[in-house]
Amino acid sequence: MNQTKLKTPVKMGYGMAETGITAVQLFTQIYLLKFYTEIVGLNSSLAGIALSISVIWDAISDPLMGRISDHTRSRFGRRRPYIFIGGILLSLSVLLLFSPPEIASQLGKFVYLLSVYLLVNTAMTIISVPHIALGGELSFERNERTAVFGWRLFFSNIGMLIGMIVPAAILQSLGDESAKENIITSRTIAGEIVSLVILVSSVITFWVTRGRDNIQTDKSKQLPFFQSFGSVFKNKMFLILLFAFVIATIGRTFNSAIALYYYEYRLGLKESQVVINILLPFFLVLMLSIGFWVWISKKIGRKIPAFLGVFGLGVLTVIAYPLFPYGELRPPLIAAFFGGIFAGSILIMDSILTDVVDYDEFKTGEKREGLYFGIWKMGVKFSQAFGIAITGFLLDIIGFQNGLITQSQEVGFRLAMIFGPGVGFFFILGSLIFLFFPLTDAKHIQVQRILTKRTLKNLI
């Protein structure tokens, strides 16, 4: 077990791949549904179904990918080869997603979106599951792990900025933001930029982490896949943490998918105004808050800060967003500032999951980071699929009309209720479930001591 203090370049290099991964995720979460419904002309419900099917496949494949990487033996390690291969595949597939050919029929548009987004999500699984699992293995020391996942979240937010700002900035530079030709051009160019980012960032992570991906496991203790998969769901600590995070992620998905609709049709703001004046400050504050959350988790533990951050985000969302006046930027900007601070607490969740993996190793004697993080991401993807599918149907239910420059006041109000109380409910519920998480910091420290003694005994 690696208990040495990691050098900052190693932590940074590990986190770099998250730049491309998150850039693709946010690029698709914010722009894909709107692009295919308003520009390509695909029915909202069909678009929601295509996206949710793709994400469900992504979710199902995550535990399998985790298991595969757990059992991979190569001279490059067991996680790093997939970071390299997945980065290349994701780079190529994202190019196709925002460059669809001219297709007349609804069925043809549906099939194209479904097939290409399936390819994108397959590539995402190949790179993202081994990458997050590798983060839990770089160090065995608690505070070092929090710092590792802090750097991962830092670069994740850089990826968020790229995936969010680049498409809007290109569209703004082209002039008329409502012109179909300009929107198509901006999305195509943005796809090329994001494609380059994922390629470069994955190669950097692959290179910098060389020699760090060499953990050996006892094959005699490895269970068959389905038996091992089932045993994970018998871990009550993991189930509580997973359930809390999944519920909160449904809220995050609603937020991302409905954001541009809310700001444009409820508040009357242009896409460039939203991205530059609201979303950009939100993510900048989030990035700056990471150091605070790492510091406070060292001082008082991780459970209470994680709860307060997610709960505070939920309360803010429920109260603020239905009340914002039409056409004004200052109120949502203030909410973005405080929301960014609260949202920074999310890094604590990933670092707590590594504690659960340690507890599982203590109980079973088997290192299963890949399987645990694969199931973790599977749960997150299922919640994203649910959120995306429901968003598409909700747009139809509330009377949203594709292709109209303006919507009725009733539609605007309904968008506000989804974006405010609808999203905030899931944050609050997820934080309350998390309060039942039983693994304390003191108990985890004790588990780590036992694992350390066990490892030293095996080496003698």
Convert the pLDDT of each residue in 291-331 to its tens digit: 888 888 888 888 888 899 999 999 999 999 999 998 888 99
**Cα dihedral 40→43→416→306 (10° resolution):** -80
Put simply, whether the predicted model's pTM sits higher than 0.85 gets the answer no
Binned at pLDDT 50, 70 and 90, residue 18 comes out as very high
Is residue 2 domain-resident?
no
pLDDT of 430 > 80? The answer is yes
- Per the structure, the complete domain to which residue 120 belongs is given by 8-209+223-459
Q: Which two tokens stand for residue 313?
A: 């985000």
Binned at pLDDT 50, 70 and 90, residue 351 comes out as confident
Higher pLDDT among residues 136 and 318, named by residue: 318
pLDDT of 66 > 50? The answer is yes
* Whole-number pLDDT of residue 220: 46
Q: Specify whether the CB–CB gap between 134 and 205 falls below 8 A.
A: no
**Structural domain count, the chain:** 1
Is residue 51 domain-resident?
yes
Is residue 85 domain-resident?
yes
Is residue 97 domain-resident?
yes
Is residue 32 domain-resident?
yes
How far apart are alpha carbons 447 and 360 in whole angstroms?
A: 10
Q: Specify whether the CB–CB gap between 187 and 180 falls below 8 A.
A: no
Helix (H), strand (E) at residue 423: helix 423-434
pLDDT of 458 > 80? The answer is no
Mean pLDDT, all residues of the chain: 84
Is residue 214 domain-resident?
no
Residue 320 belongs to domain with CATH number = 1.20.1250.20
Is residue 287 domain-resident?
yes
Convert the pLDDT of each residue in 174-219 to its tens digit: 888 778 889 889 999 999 999 999 999 999 999 998 877 766 555 5
pLDDT of 3 > 60? The answer is no
Is residue 433 domain-resident?
yes
* Whole-number pLDDT of residue 402: 67
Higher pLDDT among residues 406 and 431, named by residue: 431
How far apart are alpha carbons 396 and 401 in whole angstroms?
A: 8
Q: Which two tokens stand for residue 134?
A: 């590798």
How far apart are alpha carbons 350 and 302 in whole angstroms?
A: 11
Binned at pLDDT 50, 70 and 90, residue 144 comes out as confident
Higher pLDDT among residues 342 and 222, named by residue: 342
Q: Give the residue from 273, 304, 285 showing the smallest Cα distance to 154.
A: 285
